Each structure stands twice: as structure tokens, then as C-alpha cells.
Structure 1
Amino acid sequence: MASTLSARIVSSLGSVEAEHWDACANPSGAPFDGERFNPFVSHAFLFALEQSGSVGRKTGWSPVHVLVEDAGGRLVACAPAYLKSHSLGEYVFDQSWAQAYERAGGRYYPKLQVAAPFTPVTGRRLLVSRDAPEGAREALIGAMRGLRQAAGASSIHVAFPTQADARALERSGFVLRGGEQFHFLNEGYRDFDDFLETLAARKRKAIRRERREALCDGLAIERLTGAELTPAHWDAFFAFYMDTGARKWGRPYLTRAFFDLVGAAMADRILLVMARHGRDYVAGAINFLGDDAIYGRNWGALVDRPFLHFEVCYYQAIDFAIRHGYRRVEAGAQGEHKLARGYRPVLTWSAHDFADRGFHAAIDDYCRRERAALDAIIAEQEASLPFRKTNEETTP
């Protein structure tokens, strides 16, 4: 059956009908590969990045999306792919690999990145339609390798695939690398206080104090989604985003146009949490909504207030998830401070394939040793989570 499949590359999602891409990215019906709707592989999100100039040749993210079609020309599998001239905006850090490769006389860039740009969120990366013929996933992986060779890229890097995709890539010879994030898991809590009752008394009191101090002096929170979102909200949020980006990274990734475009295309999949003092917005966080999860992405503030970051980014998302029945909150990359606030360590994946087989073997060895250390760290974190023991008395 694979012989009836053909692959091609497109330099923009404008060349692909949204319904055809989304039939592969987010198939309707029951969960597929253990996942329901993920906003970051949707045509609307990825195309907004292109239209806004957030990705493109000038930013070092040149789209080279991989399409696999059947004999009738129907799209049956695809992958969001980019030729990269750097390693920024990926959240899987391989700069030390690039330095080692180039010290040995190789050329690391360009590399082929299969990912949702600027988005450390696990999701399907081998986007295979529910009714794809046998061999479609393998044809997609083969097309990725063919693209790497044709483009003269050193390697393929698949960031934050699902476990099913990670294992398929491993079977085809990719090296798997483990990573860690911190997620809130909704155990069927009735409300935020019900969640707090599961924490040790000291942690419970600390969170209540943080929430009081974050919102003292008349600060108010607004949670906006759908038709409630206006250009004025995006203007305010973009100012927060630029301020935080300039202080942390030096060059924010997303343009102002991106927020207008993604807001127009998928407003019902966005939750904007805004902190207001009087008539003025002073801080905010953008979240995207899947079917099962809330994904916290970017935040910023024009005021320096203790615990405001925790309130706007973490506690508001937890409260919204409990009220609306979301199973988890994913609050982005890194941040061990999330553990003290009821988030749990979660293993993430990336997959890597190098044309130079000697370097490939060296990376494989490195990732195996790195994973052993990571497993020990996660076990230690699990043992020290802030949840109260079964026999601990509940205190206010």
C-alpha cells in the first residue's frame, strides 16, 4: 500500500486546505493516539504564525511542511516542518550538540525541525488521518528523511511528540531524549478550595496568602474568551509580552499581527487572563484551550508585584480547569517552583536523527545517560510533592 503514496513539500500552509490539514491534525471523533483536539497543530494556529511573519525565512524558521497523499491526491498524513538556521524558540536545548558537531568540522545548520514553533506542548507531530492507508506514518517519516537529505540538513529534530509518535520514531531509528515539565492534574475537584484541601497545611496556607497578596490594593482579574476578546485587549497583552520577552530573551518571537490573526481564527480556543488596576490592565497571560487541557503559553506584566505571576498564570488556570472540567493544565516549560503549587512532574519527549551516523551514536549514548539522571530527579520530586499524607488532619 505504501507504494501508492507520494510525498511533497509546501513552503506555506496557504497551499493546503484547512479542512484537509485538520483532518490529519485533529481528527474528529474519539481520541486518536490518546489525544483529542490540540490547538497548536491546527491549520489556524500554524498559518497565523506564517501570515504574521512570526515564522519565515527572516526569522530562521522556513516552512517546509511535509505532505503525504494517496493515489487520488488525498492528504493522508502531514508534518509541520521548518528548516532552521539556529536553535531558538524550540525549548529542547541542543546548542551544545551544535557546538560539538561544528568543532568536529561539521555544519549543524540548517537542521530540520518538526514542531509547533515557540510551543513546548506535547502533541501529535506525525499527523496521520484516522482512515489513512497502512504505511502512511512510515511514508511520512521517510519523506522527512528525504527532505533532510535534499536540503543538506544535518539532522531532524521532532519536538514534544506524543508517546505514540515518539515510539514510532524510535522504531525507525531516531534517538529519544527525555525532558520534564510540570502539569496540574484535575482529580475531579469540586472547586479550588477542594484542591487546596489535598495539600499539606503549610502549602495550603502559603497559596492562600499568595493569592491575597497578589490581588491586594484593588487589583481585579478578568478572564476573557471568544467574542469578549477585542483589539484593545490584544494591544494591552502585547505590551506585557514585549516587556517580558525583552527582559528574558532579548527578542520576542511573536509579532503583534499574530495575536490579531489567531484571535480572529480561534477565539473560542483562547483564554486571556488579565489583571486590571482601575481602568488599566497591568498584567496578563494567554492560554489556549484543547478539549482535555488548558495550555498556558505567554505572560507579562508592567508592574512588579509579589505572587502576581503565580495568580495570573497558575491559580487562575487551575480554577478555570476545575470549573470547566479540563483534565489538566500545562503551564509551559521549566519551573520547579510549580511543584510547590500543586503541579506534578511529567516526562516529555523529543526525537532526533542525524545524517552522520557516528554523531548519531554519540547522541544516543548521551541521551541514555541523561535520561537515567532525569528519572532520578523525577523520582525525588515525586517523593516531595506538597500533597498531604492520608493521616494528616485538615486545617484551614
Structure 2
Amino acid sequence: MISTHSFARRGVEVAHSLVMKRSDDEPDVHQIPPMAALIFLLTCAIFFVLLAAISYTYGHLITTLCMVESPSTNAYVPIESVEPADDAPPAYTEDGVPKPVDAEVNLVRTQPITASLRATVLHLRARAGFWSRFRGLSVYLVWNFARSVIVGILSAASSNPFLVIFASIVAEIALANIHMTWIHVIISEPSAKRWHQRIPTPFLKSWRKIAPAVALWAVTSQIVTILPMLVAGSFGAMRRFDDPNFEPGMKEAYATAGQLFMAMFLTLLLVVLLQIPATVTMVRVAASMLPEEDETIVPFDRTFGGLTTPEIVGGQGKIGIVEAWRSFTWECRRRLLRTVVKVAAIIMTTWILFSIVAMVEAHALFGPAFGEMMKSLHGISHRGS
């Protein structure tokens, strides 16, 4: 992990090399117009901001709520929000007089809130306001920044990728309480407290409870993140980018896109088999430690079907790792899997649209200089990793 200053310096150097004239002994190297490079990089920036927003709202926020919501818990809605059937008879009292409709009477909701992405967004907006799709973003950014700092410190002395992986796992475990705070913020009703006031206390005692589940999640996350790119980069055009004599063209660009899509599908497979169970376990353990004074924003069974016992009566005050996964019923697993598929489809569609736009821009803006642009961008990512 390199510092922000170092990354900026290297980026400026690479950009400078793209737009400045080459020496006389390299007359065959194409120059990239500065305006064309700027347009292309702005397109990439817009795409990554859009993808990050989609990923946070649908890939993190809604899926976490889906892992917490308990379908066995009765969710109630105001009766005026339910349209009666046209042929439904009116309710009568014992004296045969029609009962007046009471707006405070509630009916049971038969479908979980998180069964629909749109319904979940609307529910969040009704309970937490317009910007509820980004609730918890501040603590999420702090958590990621702190994780980056820890990883940078632990892996600064070496470029060994396995050391970076180990540092990432250590950072996740060290920040387990911050991660749990983020989960508590997004699964609970809006609170007047600042996020740092909601960090579980006593700090060390809470950390010991959540650390094993976070460790399991951290290890699987690294496997899902690293393995697909290692496989995709082990053959074809992506393997040859480190060769100084390699001159990629449009053919290699299409091959690279295909390898990236393969990496995305492998990532999805690993997500289903490894990361989803580990994430569900960690989220539900954290949810079991939600303070009693905080109400959840979706229906949630705090007892997990009687598997947890409050500390006040001699229990641990949380659910165990094995029980956290077992208490997540097959109905909930299917609902979560459907949600993951929907989110993956949204992200894939966004990625495909960006790829089409990027290829069209590449043909129109760079022409034969596109190979030089690809090598320069790969150089930035390679030196920045």
C-alpha cells in the first residue's frame, strides 16, 4: 500500500509521459492527446462513483438488512395502507352494526420487506429519510480509511502480496468493533447519537465477542478478492502486460475484457459458496449484540428462536458462530440469494454499459494509441498495488 502523496506523484509522472513528446529514438510510439485522455479518465471516474453508490446501497446496506430480517417475526402495517378486496364483506359487531375502521389497527405483513429491492428502499426512505440509501456511510468510510492505514503500516516494508493479505486480515480483526458499529447503525432505527457514541462498550469485552466472527469473514473475503484475479491474470493478454516488449492492441483489449468477465463470474461463485455464509454469520452475531434500547428498522428476532440469553440473566448476550448460520433458515437463504443475484445483475449491467461506452470512446479518441494507454493504466495499477 503506497501513500496518497506517492500515488499522486506516480500518476502525474505517468500522465506526463502520455502527453509529452517522445525522444527521437522512439518515433514509432503514438502520442495520446491530452483532451482525449481527460475525457476517458472522466468517464472512468463517473462509472466508478456510480458503481460505488450501487454497491453500497444494494450490495452492502440492503443485503445486510436481508441477513437480519426475521420472517417469523410479525411485521405490522397500518390498516389504511392495505386495500380491501372488492368483494370483502364489512366487519360487524355482535349487534349487527358495521364496525368503524380504526386507523390504529394493524395487520400482519405476509411478505418480508427485503424480498424486494424497491420495497426495501421505499421502507428505508419512509423510516429514515431520502438519504437513507447511504445511511452509515460516514462510519463505513472511517472504517475503510482506518483499515487502509493499518494495512499500509503493516505491509510498508515489503511488496509481498501475501503480507498484504495477512495485514488486511489483521486490520479487519483489529477494527471489529467499528465494523459492528456500522452494522448496528444500518440495521437500527435513526438515532440521535453520533456513530462514535454507538461503539459497543466495554470495548475490549465487545471485541472479544465479535472478533472470531470477523476473523472468519476477513479470511473468506481475502480469498474471494484475490483468487479470481490470480486465476484470470495467469494466462492470456493479462499475463503479458509485465513484458516490456508487449504491444497490446484492440484484440488484446477484447481478450482482457473477457478475462475480467471470467474473474467476475468466478468471484460470484466464491461469494455464494464462501463469503455469503461467513458474512451472514458475522452480521447476525453483531446483530445479536445490538443494545436493547435500539429498535431495528426491519423485523428482527433478538432471541434467534430462543438460542440467545441476555447477560442480565447469566447468558453471553450474543449468538454463537454456528448458531448464527443455523438460525438463518432456508427460506431466508433463498431470499438472500435472490437479492444477491439481483444486485449482481445490476452491477453486471452497469459494467457492460460502461465497457461499451469505454470501447466506443477508445476507438474514437485514441485510435492506434490505445495500446499505449492500456499499458500506462496497467502501470499505474501495478505500481499502486
TM-score range, shorter chain: under 0.3
TM-score (norm 2): 0.22
TM-score (norm 1): 0.21
User: Which structure would you say has the larger Rg?
Assistant: 2
Please identify which structure carries the higher strand content: 1
